[in-house]
Chain A
Amino acid sequence: MGQQSRFLKIVALLGFVFLYAPIVSLVIFSFNESKLVTVWGGFSTKWYAELFRDPQILEAAWVSIKIALISATLAIVIGTVGSFVLIRFKKFRTKGLLSMMITAPLVMPEVIIGLSLLLLFVAMQGLIGWPGGRGMLTIIIAHSTFGAAYAAVVIQSRLVDMDLSIEEAAQDLGARPVRVFFGVTLPVMAPALLSGWLLVFTLSLDDLVIASFVSGPGASTLPMVVFSKVRLGVSPDVNALATIIIGIVSLGIIAAALEISRSKKHGAER
């Protein structure tokens, strides 16, 4: 037994090293004086300064954030309505279709989603003159569509776990279905909505392939700019960018963990 668990611990430890070593090295070498990403040349923050002087990166970051904000919000709306309809509504004609369409984007290779949406946009442009060129709008549509699938996974699992009698109790006390949804179902699901939103936001911010297909000349997202930089080789300002992103994510996770333990304590004290 002891031997078995030691073996497990070693494998797990190696696994975690494997997961984290590249991330740690990204952070370390972002403070490297030398241009060579892998040889330590002394501490410096010059790559951060360079990053913030690069208008292309700043512009792309802003575009990406705008797209992610809107896409995450849209995806949550579609994902929530879709999940609710699938789990709480009795049989309807398009139920099977909806269930298929809402889970399929999860298992669809990105290149296919990107290509198919682009071809749709081109065809629609030819037929009805909409969406009027490609750019932020088309990226937002694409991201909200596959984001809705991820949001639906998170929301559905919460909806299934949620005690149905809570909603019935609200009805029993005189609330009509729409009020039950907005007054009881949504607030109870709020944590799931938030984590779904964050998930889609991150995925949108991170997506290279789909955005490359559906974007137009005007709109380059952050991953698109980074990809074109990285293709030419390693560059330390990308490390600086990565460190900033890792910093934000870590802060967010720590804040969430603190909030959870605080509210737990709060509950226990009373």
Chain B
Amino acid sequence: MSQRETLNGKLPGGAFLGRALHRIGLRGRGLVIAIPVLWLFLFFLLPFLVVAKISLSEAAIARPPYLPLWNWDDGFLNITLNFGNYLFLFDDPLYLSAYIESVKIAAVSTVITLLVGYPMAYLIARSAPDTRNILLMLVILPFWTSFLLRVYAWIGFLKGNGIINNILMKIGLINEPLVMLQTDFAVYIGIVYTYLPFMILPLFANLVKLDQSYLEASADLGARPITTFFTVTLPLSASGIIAGCMLVFIPAVGEFVIPALLGGPDTLMIGRVLWNEFFSNRDWPIASAVAIVMLVVLVIPIMLLRKAQAAEAEVQ
């Protein structure tokens, strides 16, 4: 031990740093753990508590624009919990319909994404390894380019004098341009387009592990391809399907950019409502309450996702 130390001492430079570090390493296991725990506690968990707190306070024209929850008054601790923000959310049909609309749009988009993504994932998983890598890269590539700009590209496609209308009118299918931009249709397109890779990747990861011999065994036992698909492939990929769907559904519910750019004024999605409450109305307590209720709405999907991902990890 002591000999090791003196030998180390003879080495120039780095050895001293190394020794200093393993001093910390040996004693400071807790220190190492503390780095991520503290950071995430401070900047991820604590903020939620702040949101919860502010959702219970009263809006005011002040800086910051809300009243404190508690104050000292002649030796009395006054705690004012204002549930009015939550009551307001359920009173005003705007919020309720925005929640319902968000869940509906997210759910429909998720189903469409699944219908488009599953065949793609299946084909990629079944291709030869070289082709598979190229196709997989093609799926991931758009993800690396700006999301905002890709949504923007659809404006050019969908608007009145946009590419789709121009083509359709040129070949004489329609005489009047179709109204597509600023509709729910455009929002569906935008969500499916943006989140397609999120669907394909977990499905692919699941399907690529599917042993080809299961399909052969099923065929050997007399099942036609269609039957094999519904009785073997689909049940075995269930956890991949759930994971993919939740990865699309959860962010879609809170989506802001897509409804803001592609949706119409009457496309009410909750992310957009929150944004407006915060930036336009400067009503921080209501915005906080909207966020808390959104979290509650998302608890079940998030739990489903975690379960599916755990199941996927087990297969590996």
Q: Name A residues whose Cβ lies closer than 8 Å to a Cβ of B.
A: 1, 4-5, 7-9, 11-12, 15-16, 18-23, 25-26, 29, 36-39, 77-79, 81-82, 84-85, 89, 92, 94, 97-98, 101-105, 107, 109-113, 115-117, 119-120, 122-123, 126, 141-142, 145, 148, 176-179, 181-182, 202, 205-206, 208-209, 212-213, 223, 226-227, 230-231, 234, 238, 241-242, 245-246, 249-250, 252-253, 257
Contacts and interface: CB of A to CB of B under 8 A. Distances in A.
26 contacts: A15-B119, A15-B120, A16-B138, A18-B193, A26-B153, A38-B166, A78-B36, A82-B36, A98-B33, A101-B40, A101-B45, A102-B36, A102-B40, A110-B256, A116-B47, A119-B51, A120-B47, A126-B64, A148-B40, A179-B22, A205-B146, A227-B257, A231-B261, A245-B145, A246-B145, A253-B144
A23 to B, nearest CB: 6
Contacts of A120: 43, 46-47, 50
A4 B26 contact: no
Centre residue among A25, A94, A115 by max chain B CB count within 10 A = A115
B271 interface: yes
A7 B148 CA distance: 32
B111 interface: no
B162 interface: yes
A202 B146 CA distance: 8
B133 to A, nearest CB: 9
Interface in B186-201: 193, 196
Nearest to B147: A206
Nearest to A84: B32
B255 to A, nearest CB: 8
B64 A234 contact: no
A106 to B, nearest CB: 9
A45 B25 CA distance: 57
Nearest to A257: B137
A62 to B, nearest CB: 16
B225 A109 contact: no
Given A78-B40, A115-B288, 11 more contacts: A1-B225, A8-B123, A15-B196, A38-B159, A78-B39, A82-B40, A109-B294, A141-B43, A206-B146, A223-B148, A238-B149
B22 A176 contact: yes
A206 B166 contact: no
Contact of A117 (B24, B43, B157): B43
Interface residues of B, number: 86
Contact of B37 (A97, A145, A246): A97
A25 B156 contact: yes
Contacts of A231: 260-261
B38 to A, nearest CB: 10
B256 A115 contact: no
B21 A178 contact: yes
B29 A234 contact: no
Contacts of A20: 138, 142
B16 to A, nearest CB: 13
B291 A98 contact: no
B260 to A, nearest CB: 8
The 9 closest A-B pairs by CB, nearest first: A109-B254, A178-B25, A116-B47, A82-B36, A22-B153, A101-B40, A11-B119, A120-B47, A178-B22
A142 B135 CA distance: 33
Q: Label chain A's interface by main secondary structure.
A: helix
Given A98-B40, A109-B254, A22 B116 contact: no
B230 interface: no
A19 B142 contact: yes
A117 B153 contact: no
A145 B40 contact: yes
B171 interface: no
A230 B261 contact: yes
Tell which of B33, B142, B150, B159 has the most Cβ of chain A within 10 Å: B33
B163 to A, nearest CB: 5
Contacts of B302: 107
Nearest to B119: A11
A15 B116 contact: yes
Given A12-B123, A38-B159, A208 B44 contact: no
Contacts of A15: 116-117, 119-120, 196
A230 B22 contact: no
A208 B117 CA distance: 26
Given A101-B45, A102-B36, A18 B149 contact: no
A36 B165 CA distance: 14
Given A9-B123, A94-B37, A209-B256, A22 B146 contact: no
A251 B21 CA distance: 39
A73 to B, nearest CB: 14
A226 B21 contact: no
Contacts of A182: 18, 21
A92 B33 contact: yes
B257 to A, nearest CB: 6
